[in-house]
Structure 1
């Protein structure tokens, strides 16, 4: 059984890279460029892990993460925030915070090891 990953980013090139890397590792990857549809896609696909960009073209991924973490159905899905802003570590300590943080540009091996760690937890 494949582990399912949802990657949400407003940059289609980054989504393509994430999809290629993680599918090569044996994961089933769904990509989403519009953060407004995240709950709908999660409900349909039941991902085991969510990779969520912070800046989603007018939306804040941190707000989406908080909403996910406060939702009874989705709160146990690990969320890894991805951002080019390197000063987001404090947001990991607040209620409704993501499970981990990955800075852009990210190292492929670091992405893979972080995904494996979150799915093993």
Structure 2
């Protein structure tokens, strides 16, 4: 496989700005985010669009990767890849309510910058 680039740095998105997160995802690629994964409802998630009003942005304790977004039955969501294996959630993914800063998903968002000038 040919080398096409390297990670030359990173960009931090504006806090609590889901529009910026959506823009980066659509125009750059997957975005690493921090979320509050403390609640039992998060741990027990199996399917559907996760929306728990108790899941606040006050405690960011877990990193996940936002890989997409969509809408189902009028409800917007983020498609998020977790690191807990394919037995958790929807084959290792969770759909989290979008435009609500659910579990602090837009509290800390970061993506790598890629360069190819040294190749």
The question of a shared fold, defined as TM-score above 0.5 by the shorter chain, is answered with no
Question: Per chain length, whose mean CA-contact separation is higher, i.e. which structure has more relative contact order (CA < 8 Å, sep 6+)?
Answer: 2
- Bigger radius of gyration among the two: 2
- TM-score, length basis structure 1: 0.28
Which is strand-richer, 1 or 2?
2
